[in-house]
Every structure is written in structure tokens, then in C-alpha cells.
Amino acid sequence: MKKEIKIDGMHCEHCAAKVESALSSLDGVKKVKVKLEKGLAKLDGDVSDEAIRAAVSDAGFSVTGIE
Ligand SMILES: [Cu+2]
């Protein structure tokens, strides 16, 4: 399942790397690609929206939408 996650608060490559590693560490995630300039992450895998929101907020950012 592919999801596009809109994330608020990423300002540099360091932020993007934090989000990428937080999402990559979730069970069921196959692939994560963060697009810093667009403020979003593309995720492929079997993971709930709740788990995604929790991982992103634990990393210090906020999810504004998942589709
Ligand atoms: Cu940063």
C-alpha cells in the first residue's frame, strides 16, 4: 500500500533524514522517500495512519495529511 504523508516542520536535510529514519523503522514499511522541498514523504508498506502519525510526531514534526 502506498501513502503520501504531508509533514509540517521540515526545514533542512537533517529534518528530512530524521523523518525518513523514523518512518523506515516502523514495522511493515518497505520503502520511504522524503521530499523535503515539497514537505512530504512517500511510503510503501503495510502500516496504519496512527503509527505513521505517532512516528512523525515522536521525531518532532507533525503530519497534516495522509492520502
Ligand atoms: Cu532541519
pLDDT of residue 7: 98
Structural domains in the chain plus CATH codes: 2-66 (3.30.70.100)
* Residue 67 CA to ligand 1 centre (angstroms): 24
pLDDT in tens, 28-61: 999 999 999 999 999 999 999 999 999 999 999 9
Contact 42, 8 (CB under 8 A): no
* Residue 9 CA to ligand 1 centre (angstroms): 8
* Residue 36 CA to ligand 1 centre (angstroms): 10
pTM (2 decimals)? 0.94
Sorted by sequence, the CB contacts under 8 Å of residue 52 that are 6+ apart come out as 3, 5, 23, 26, 43, 63, 66
* Residue 14 CA to ligand 1 centre (angstroms): 5
Model confidence at 18, pLDDT cuts 50, 70, 90, reads very high
pLDDT of residue 20: 98
* Rounded mean pLDDT, 8-19: 97
pLDDT of residue 29: 98
Q: Which amino acid is at 38?
A: K
* Residue 45 CA to ligand 1 centre (angstroms): 25
For 9, 12, 49, 53, 61, the CA distances from 39, given in Å and listed in that order, are: 8, 10, 17, 15, 11
